[in-house]
Chains A and B, each alone.
Chain A
Amino acid sequence: GQQVMQIPQYQHVQEGEDFTTYCNSSTTLSNIQWYKQRPGGHPVFLIQLVKSGEVKKQKRLTFQFGEAKKNSSLHITATQTTDVGTYFCAGDMNYGGSQGNLIFGKGTKLSVKP
Chain B
Amino acid sequence: KAGVTQTPRYLIKTRGQQVTLSCSPISGHRSVSWYQQTPGQGLQFLFEYFSETQRNKGNFPGRFSGRQFSNSRSEMNVSTLELGDSALYLCASSLGQVTGNTIYFGEGSWLTVV
* Residues of chain A whose beta carbon lies under 8 Å from any beta carbon of chain B: 30-31, 33, 35, 41-45, 48, 50, 88, 92, 95-107
Known: A41-B107, A42-B90, A106-B42. A100 touches B102 (CB 8 A): no
Taking the nearest CB of chain A, how far is it from the CB of B46, in angstroms?
9
Chain B's closest residue to A94 (CB) is B99
Can you name 14 A-B pairs with beta carbons within 8 Å? Answer: A33-B102, A35-B105, A43-B43, A45-B103, A45-B104, A48-B100, A50-B100, A88-B42, A92-B101, A98-B55, A99-B33, A99-B94, A99-B96, A102-B45
Q: How far is the CA of A41 from the CA of B106 in the complex (A)?
A: 9
What residues of chain B lie closer than 8 Å to A30, measured between beta carbons?
99-100
Q: How far is the CB of A102 from chain B (nearest CB, A)?
A: 7
Contact between chains at A98 and B105 (CB < 8 Å): no
Nearest CB on B from A10, distance (A): 12
Q: Which residues of B contact A45 (CB under 8 A)?
A: 102-104
- B92 interface contact, C-beta 8 A: yes
Q: Given A48-B100, A99-B92, A100-B57, is A42 in contact with B48 using a C-beta cutoff of 8 Å?
A: no
Which residues on B are within 8 Å of A, measured CB to CB?
A: 31, 33, 35, 42-43, 45, 47-48, 50, 55-58, 90, 92, 94, 96-108
Q: In the bound complex, how far is the Cα of B34 from the Cα of A7, in angstroms? A: 25
Structural contact, B42 and A104, CB atoms closer than 8 A: yes
A20 to B57, CA, bound (A): 32
- Choose from B97, B99, B103, B108 the contact partner of A31 (Cβ within 8 Å): B99
Taking A42-B106, A50-B100, A99-B45 as known contacts, 20 extra A-B pairs with beta carbons closer than 8 A to each other, sorted by chain A number, are A30-B99, A30-B100, A31-B99, A42-B105, A45-B102, A48-B100, A48-B102, A88-B43, A95-B99, A97-B98, A97-B99, A97-B101, A98-B50, A98-B56, A98-B96, A100-B56, A102-B103, A104-B42, A106-B42, A107-B43
